[in-house]
Amino acid sequence: MLRLVHIWQVAAALIARVAMMLVFGMFIYGVGMRYLFDKPQSWVDEAVTILAVWLVFWTAAFVLKWSELISFDILVNAFPRHIQRFLIAASAIAYSAVVGAALYPIIDYVMFMKIMTTDMLLLRLDLVYSIFVVFLIATALRSAVLGVRLLLPTWPPVLADLLDASAEVEGSL
Amino acid sequence: MTTGLWALVLVFLTGTLLRLPIALSMLAAGIAYFFSTGQDIGLLAGQVMGQMTGIYVLVAIPMFILAANVMNASGISERLWNAANVIVGRARGGTGHVTVLVSLVFSSMSGSAVTDASGPGMMAIRMMRQIGRFPPEMAVAVAAAAAVIAPVIPPSIPMVIYAMLSGTSVGGLFLAGIVPGLLMGVTVMLTVRLLADRYDLPPGEKIPFAQVGPVMGRAAMPMTLPVLLLGGIWTGVFSPTESAAVAALWAMILGTVVFRSLRARQFGEVFDESLRQTAATMLLISSAYVVNYAIANEGLAAALVGLIDRLDLTQTQFMLVMNVLLLGLGCFLDGSVILLVVVPLLLPTARSLGIDLTYFGVVVIINFMIGLITPPYGLILFVLSSLTRVPLPGIFRAVTPFFLALIVLLLILTLVPGIILFLPHFFGFT
């Protein structure tokens, strides 16, 4: 099972890397066609925007570690570790419950969007929006697993992994 | 407050304070809001995806991040350091001044304070410790204060986000940031000079005249990047988004062909690092749309406009109140939350008072940049403390003179809008 998870993580990271390269490559292609050959490719703007949005949700769902998602930890850090694990477990499990309860109407809304398409590439919007559903399901499952692992007797390394790495990678503001 | 708003605030605060990632707290708060107001919860997907796929300028963010990371990996920090050392290294506390100058130059290639702190900032801390005899907490404080200049000097990721929120021109905002950014650099340098006596910091060594030419020449090529990036935007040749992508390509050419310091193996790492930073940043932006929808739906911004109207505040009074509010919030809230949630609330009031939104944006961004080094919640201080293992309490003490000096500068910039607006007006951005 762990081996399968590891293979999936490696594959997801590789897909994200290729997508990032593709966003960059399409940009350069679009700029080159517009300025060097005077043939603007109007579909490129839409394609890079959609691909970038997919990249963000895919990476957040499957590539980023939980500790890499920007968090506010001053309050939690003020407590001893055995309390911290209950606080974090509570918020993680509550998140998965809230998303779980909201999932059906969200999927219903996304499926309804099949009646519309994007302007240039005429992609069906239910397909474009589907990455958001994937993201919600993935983060809900991951937070539920995190919450349960923090409640098990083997919690110390799980909490250490979460808190000690948290300041190393942050957003880019 | 309505039930929906209570649900939104309660879920967001509870989630954030209990260390649920901020983006996920916003999404959960959005779900709670839709549920308690009886609206279709599916609107969550509509708001997030509809907005994200509709704003092309946001795609500049991954490209700015990529360009800065490529330049970092190409080892330009060392070239810039040597050149800056020739210019300001002789002064007392010389390595501190060099740190600020390197940050100013690197700022013109990077739009992110975190990238600046963890790239050139880390090298600068080592140099300040080894050569400049800086105490560890003082070295971290100087690097942190210098790093927050990055998003004020163009290119700037917060400015791209602000332009999207306010409808102002990215090019105009980028021009407006130049003078305040340079003044921030001068302010931090003056503070270093004043503290050099207290910490008994030595002046730097004299560079032999024969070395000056080669050292400056090695720093010339990295400077072509900001020229290409910003020149492309201001001349109207490229859009900000295209410009960011071309800058990333140019950075790769510099790293592989000109400097020959960037290996093929590093490309994968650079793309990985960039996509991680991109995802963490843009996830926050996407989830903030839900909170912004609720704010608009509840008419909060309109209520604030009414309140300010009743108080009969002048433009200056409003700006001063806003500074106090944002600096206070910056002590406890993440800068991204302030920019994405609080600023949209203030924008309609600024608009109704006739405040120039470019000036407003630069003041807002300087505010939350100061917030990045303000205890107890200063993101840059956390990052540098984690990377250097210097304890936070010492850093908090050492950084205090720097953020106080920057607050004085902020006050001057707020009271004299012409300092910010001179350049954009000169180039026809009105």
pLDDT tens for chain B, 430 residues long, are 789 989 999 999 999 889 999 899 999 999 999 999 999 999 999 999 998 888 777 788 888 888 888 887 887 777 888 888 888 888 888 888 988 998 888 887 776 777 677 667 877 888 888 887 889 999 999 999 998 898 899 888 889 889 988 989 988 999 999 999 999 999 999 999 999 888 888 887 777 888 888 888 888 888 888 888 788 887 878 887 888 888 888 888 988 888 888 888 888 889 998 898 889 888 988 888 888 888 888 887 778 778 877 888 889 999 999 998 888 887 767 677 788 888 888 898 899 889 999 999 999 999 988 988 888 767 788 778 767 778 878 888 999 999 999 999 999 999 999 999 999 999 887 6
Give the up-direction half-sphere exposure of residue B4: CA atoms within 13 A in the CB hemisphere. Answer: 20
In chain A, which residue's Cα lies nearest the Cα of B160? A173
Question: CB A55 to CB B157 under 8 A?
Answer: no
Q: Is A96 on the interface with B (CB under 8 A)?
A: no
Question: CB A72 to CB B19 under 8 A?
Answer: yes
Question: CB A49 to CB B58 under 8 A?
Answer: yes
Q: Is A158 on the interface with B (CB under 8 A)?
A: no
Q: Is A68 on the interface with B (CB under 8 A)?
A: yes
Write down the pLDDT at residue A46. Answer: 92
Structure tokens at B45: 């997907």
Question: CB A27 to CB B274 under 8 A?
Answer: no
Write down the pLDDT at residue A52. Answer: 94
Instruction: Enumerate the H helices of chain A as residue ranges.
Output: 2-35, 42-58, 74-77, 81-112, 125-151, 155-164
B19 assigned to some structural domain: no
B26 assigned to some structural domain: no
B53, B56, B334: residue with CB nearest A72:
B334
B41, B237, B280: residue with CB nearest A68:
B280
B336 assigned to some structural domain: yes
Write down the pLDDT at residue B178. Answer: 94
Chain B residues within an 8 Å CB radius of A118:
53
For B193, the domain range is 40-426
The total domain count for chain B is 1
B21 assigned to some structural domain: no
Mean pLDDT along residues A97-121: 95
Q: What is the pLDDT of residues A65-82, one digit of tens each?
A: 988 887 877 788 889 998
Chain A residues within an 8 Å CB radius of B44:
102, 106
B11 assigned to some structural domain: no
Question: CB B275 to CB A31 under 8 A?
Answer: no
Write down the pLDDT at residue A167. Answer: 44
B35 assigned to some structural domain: no
In chain B, which residue's Cα lies nearest the Cα of A67? B21
B15 assigned to some structural domain: no
Within 10 angstroms of residue A90's Cβ, the number of other Cβ atoms is 16
Question: CB B249 to CB A28 under 8 A?
Answer: yes
Chain B residues within an 8 Å CB radius of A74:
332, 376-377
B32 assigned to some structural domain: no
Lowest mean pLDDT among A32-36, A105-109, B232-236: B232-236
Q: Is A92 on the interface with B (CB under 8 A)?
A: yes
Chain B residues within an 8 Å CB radius of A27:
59, 63, 241-242, 245
Higher pLDDT, A8 or B310: A8
Distance CA B384, CA B7 (A): 36
